[in-house]
């Protein structure tokens, strides 16, 4: 079994940063600070660099099957590897939508053949697939669109929601924007062609009403629910009242962009939920630091530039982010908004806890060797032409970020090294221990 020693790096361990060696044997972390006389196949001197757990992004749209002109597993997982993301969980709104066990297994089979990194896929809830939701197991959880979707994946009727919360066991996660509020606002702005009005249509009230609805369901049914892409300070203020049943996530675009960016970015900044205000940026940062929001995820949702450049409202909502999310957050470390240890908690440890991920999220003996070696002081500019994502653009084009991944390992195999990819495969399907109780039920990182 091949052994690799990464030495002289500053390693971000659960107990803090320290300079130690890490020994990889096969797919696992075999030892922390191993004896120097242990024979290894590969010795990597990482002096001056930082070794982090691989990022777990619990919210992506990799578009396969059915929408592969925008993105596909091959391009998206190269973007992951380059960006230090070693695990992703993909949403069910593909074509066809992932609403049955058979369709879920088809996506798992596609990823087994094409993914460079670890993978999991949500199953989507509809008004009438309750038996499917009760029978599947190979998934992080059930995705609910409580507003803001189309077709079968929109579940807005109270009776259907009550049944899903009452009769299923898997963790739930939801896009929370009240459909009636959004439609009422759309009628007010029916003649608009200004993309900035998107934030008036998908306003704070739409998000707040839907989150309150989800909180009520989760608490009454004692069912775990994860609020996707929290976009307002008002939502963040509500979430602690529903512990232990609610967790939440925030995306880099809701932390770093706001309505003042529409003149610069135009429809590239059009997302659901929409950008909010600078005051919301500040309140979301506070909520993240105070553990009212538990983790950072991207909601990576690419469209082609041709599609994004259509005049509003024909332009689609969504933006790519998985390739740059870690560098964006490391830049915030340099700007004093957070610490390196907080970034590792929000992007690695907390997602593993929320979704009961087995043996991931931290640099611990016996855990999977999902690792990223970072030059914390490297400065580089984000450029559209250099993006691995199939859509080949970024809303942060032209931005200089400080702190970049250099090398990435997935289950002990180096998949990315300073511009080069290793396409060989190991078994990368993520395993879940859902009965352990998630973020609030786990008190340790034990695998």
Give the catalytic positions in this structure: 299
Residue 116: left (phi > 0), alpha (psi -120 to 50), or beta?
Answer: alpha
What is the spatial distance between Cα 258 and Cα 276, in angstroms, rounded to a whole number?
Answer: 5
Q: Beta 50-53 vs 10-13: how paired, if at all?
A: parallel
Tell me the helix, strand and coil percentages in the chain, rounded to 5: 35, 25, 40
How many CB atoms sit inside 10 A of residue 183's CB? 12
Q: What are phi and psi of 167, to 5 degrees?
A: -110, 5
How many CB atoms sit inside 10 A of residue 436's CB? 12
Kindly write down the DSSP assignment for every residue of 14-80, as one continuous string. TTEEEE--EEEETTEEEEES--TT---SEEEE-TT-EEEEPEEEEEE---TTT-TTT--HHHHHHHH
What is the spatial distance between Cα 268 and Cα 261, in angstroms, rounded to a whole number?
Answer: 10
DSSP letter for 429, please.
B
DSSP letter for 370, please.
-
- Reading the block at residue 295, the tokens are 């983790």
For the chain, what is the total number of helices (H) and then of strands (E)? 16, 20
23 CB burial (10 A radius; 0-12, 13-18, 19+): buried
Q: Please list, in sequence order, all residues whose beta carbon lies within 8 angstroms of the beta carbon of residue 442, skipping any fewer than 6 positions away.
A: 353, 356, 436
Q: What are phi and psi of 251, to 5 degrees?
A: -105, 155
CB 140 within 8 A of CB 122: yes
CB 421 within 8 A of CB 76: no
Residue 17: left (phi > 0), alpha (psi -120 to 50), or beta?
Answer: beta
- Where are the alpha helices (H) located in 241-321, listed in sequence order? 252-256, 262-265, 278-289, 305-308
CB 35 within 8 A of CB 400: no
């Amino acid at each position: 079994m091949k052994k690799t020693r990464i030495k002289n790096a500053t390693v971000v361990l659960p107990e803090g940063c320290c300079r130690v060696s890490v020994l990889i044997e096969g797919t696992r972390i075999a030892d922390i600070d191993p004896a120097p006389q242990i024979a290894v196949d590969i010795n990597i001197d990482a002096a001056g660099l930082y070794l982090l757990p691989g990022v777990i992004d619990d919210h992506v749209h990799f578009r396969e099957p059915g929408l592969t002109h925008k993105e596909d597993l091959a391009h998206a997982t190269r973007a992951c590897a380059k960006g230090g993301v070693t695990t992703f969980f993909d949403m069910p709104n593909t074509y066809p939508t992932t609403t049955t066990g058979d369709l879920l297994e088809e996506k798992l089979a596609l990823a087994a053949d094409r993914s460079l990194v670890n993978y999991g896929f949500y199953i989507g809830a509809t008004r009438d697939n309750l038996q499917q939701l009760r029978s599947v197991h190979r998934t992080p959880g059930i995705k609910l669109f409580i507003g803001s979707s189309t077709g079968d994946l929109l579940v807005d009727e109270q009776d259907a929601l009550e049944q899903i919360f009452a009769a299923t066991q898997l963790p739930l996660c939801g896009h929370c924007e009240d459909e009636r509020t959004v439609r009422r606002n759309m009628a007010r702005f029916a003649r608009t062609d200004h993309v900035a009005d998107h934030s008036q249509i998908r306003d704070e009230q739409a998000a707040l009403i839907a989150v309150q609805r989800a909180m009520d369901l989760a608490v009454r049914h004692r069912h775990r629910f994860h609020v996707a892409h929290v976009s307002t300070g008002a939502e963040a203020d509500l979430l602690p009242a529903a512990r232990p049943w609610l967790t939440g996530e925030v995306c880099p675009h809701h932390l770093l962009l706001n309505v003042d960016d529409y003149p610069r970015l135009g429809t590239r900044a059009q997302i659901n939920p929409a950008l909010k205000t600078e005051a919301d940026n500040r309140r979301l940062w506070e909520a993240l630091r105070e553990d009212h929001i538990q983790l950072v995820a991207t909601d990576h949702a690419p469209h082609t530039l041709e599609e994004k450049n259509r005049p509003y409202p024909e332009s689609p909502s969504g933006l790519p982010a998985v390739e740059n999310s870690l560098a964006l957050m490391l830049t915030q470390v340099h700007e004093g908004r957070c610490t390196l240890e907080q970034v590792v908690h929000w992007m690695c440890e907390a997602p593993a806890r929320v979704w009961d991920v087995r043996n991931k999220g931290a640099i611990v003996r016996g855990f999977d060797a999902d690792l990223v070696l970072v030059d914390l002081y490297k400065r580089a500019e984000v450029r559209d032409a250099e993006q691995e994502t199939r859509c080949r653009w970024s809303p942060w084009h032209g931005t200089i970020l400080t702190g970049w991944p250099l090398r990435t390992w997935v289950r002990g195999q180096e998949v990315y090294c300073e511009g080069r990819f290793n396409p060989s495969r190991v078994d990368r399907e993520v395993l879940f221990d859902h009965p352990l109780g998630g973020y609030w039920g786990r008190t340790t990182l034990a695998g």
